[in-house]
Amino acid sequence: MLFCVYSSESGSGCRRTNTMGPSHADEGGSAMNIVFLNRLERVEGKTEERGQVYIGEDQGNWTAGWQPFDQQPDATEETWYEGVSWEELLASFRHGVAGKMVAGYRPLLDGMLEEKPFWEKPTLPQLLQCYADAQPESALAVKLKHWRKTKSQEEGRSAYLVATNKEIQLLAVFIPQTLDELGQIPGFGKIKIEKYGKQLIGMLLDESRPHSFPLQWVERAVEPETFRVWLFRLREDKYGRALVTVREKKALLSAIRDGQTLAELEKLLECSRRKLVERLEKLDEEGYDVTPIIDKELGEVPYDEWTQVQGAISKLGDRYLKPILREVYGEPAAGDQEVERRYEKLRMMRIRLRREGQKAV
């Protein structure tokens, strides 16, 4: 077992009471300060594998990773993060821990991923999604996705607002054939059933299905360990996305400091201008200074246009951009290719005007 000594003196850090795991000392003999340590075990048949996850600090530099014990064959240390960003460290650590959980390791102390304790009973919607996610995508799922795409185009909104991928998979696996059965599918409440229920039932009515309703039988069909692995896989995906977001933010802030333009950032981050401007807004809300790139992009906006936008915001407020767009540029014509660029410009002008308003207070 390991215990930790917290000290700023050279040589302090994690001290060993037995030979499980490698030393934390560097080549010069000093050791990082271990601020978190947890042991994980995996048992497969008669084989038991053990290791530890850790977070360490040395003069402001953070390190997180995995260390196997017992000189396991082919076992290697994994460094998940090294650097000075606590936000990136935490995202990297959680993603790495979730991966170990998916691989079958279980912690000595729960709570690293904010998951519910294993002994808490899962809900039926969770079990339904777990069961559905374990099934391969069928031809029916493809058919339902095509329907979703058509509906989203008709309504002029994102496909996920019609039905998420998870909801599509639930429909394709359980195949509800009445409105009452459709109501047992997570995600399909009163409003969505009123809007799409008859269409969906019409598509599903003649499909053969191996399952029956009501769906309580799923509580017996999903093994506890299957459910736990599913939960950990969800968390691995969640923290993986969080890690990507943190790293993209880091790259975006670095590029802003280097004076890059939106066009250059599009290539660097492989991201649309619209998404980039939305990220600039979020960074501004979080307190980061994004004015260098805002000023660069708005450098050629005429004074009269600035005046009109300021007047529209004073009159209408700046929460919604559509009324401002109409006030300044008029009602957009169908298929107007400039509408998107005008919204982009208004978003950046709003950031600049809000900053100026804060300075004036």
- Average the pLDDT over each of 46-55, 64-73, 235-244 and give the range with the smallest value: 64-73
Is 129 in the same domain as 210?
Answer: yes
Q: What is the pLDDT of residue 187?
A: 93
pLDDT at residue 163 greater than cutoff 90: yes
Is 54 in the same domain as 134?
Answer: no
Is 130 in the same domain as 216?
Answer: yes
Is 152 in the same domain as 97?
Answer: no
Write 65-70 long-range contacts (CB < 8 A, 24+).
65/96, 66/96, 66/100, 67/21, 67/22, 68/21, 69/20, 69/21, 70/20
Is 168 in the same domain as 100?
Answer: no
Q: Please report whether residue 170 resides in a domain.
A: yes
Tell me which residue range forms the domain holding 103.
33-107
Our measurement of the distance from residue 272's CA atom to the centroid of its chain's CA atoms, rounded to an integer in Å, reads: 18
Is 149 in the same domain as 188?
Answer: yes
The string of pLDDT tens digits covering residues 82-120 is: 888 888 888 899 899 989 988 888 887 776 666 555 546
Cα 96 from Cα 92, distance rounded (Å):
6
pLDDT at residue 337 greater than cutoff 80: no
Report the CATH number that the domain containing residue 185 is assigned in CATH. Answer: 1.10.150.80
Provide the number of structural domains found in the chain. Answer: 3
Out of 44-58, 86-100, 169-183, 225-239, the most confident range is: 169-183
- The three-state DSSP-derived secondary structure of 140-165 is HHHHHHHHHHHHHHHHCCCHHHHCCH
Q: Please report whether residue 297 resides in a domain.
A: yes
Is 161 in the same domain as 210?
Answer: yes
Write 128-132 long-range contacts (CB < 8 A, 24+).
128/170, 128/174, 128/185, 128/186, 128/215, 128/218, 129/166, 129/170, 129/186, 130/222, 130/226, 130/227, 130/230, 130/231, 131/173, 131/218, 131/221, 131/222, 132/166, 132/169, 132/170, 132/172, 132/173, 132/174
DSSP state of 333: P
Q: Please report whether residue 242 resides in a domain.
A: no
Is 305 in the same domain as 351?
Answer: yes
Last-in-domain residue among 107, 133, 151: 107
Is 55 in the same domain as 130?
Answer: no
361 confidence band (pLDDT: 50, 70, 90): very low
Q: Please report whether residue 308 resides in a domain.
A: yes
User: Rounded mean pLDDT of 255-278?
Assistant: 85
Last-in-domain residue among 51, 80, 107: 107
Write out the two tokens for 99.
Answer: 């991966």
Q: What is the mean pLDDT of the chain?
A: 83
260 confidence band (pLDDT: 50, 70, 90): confident
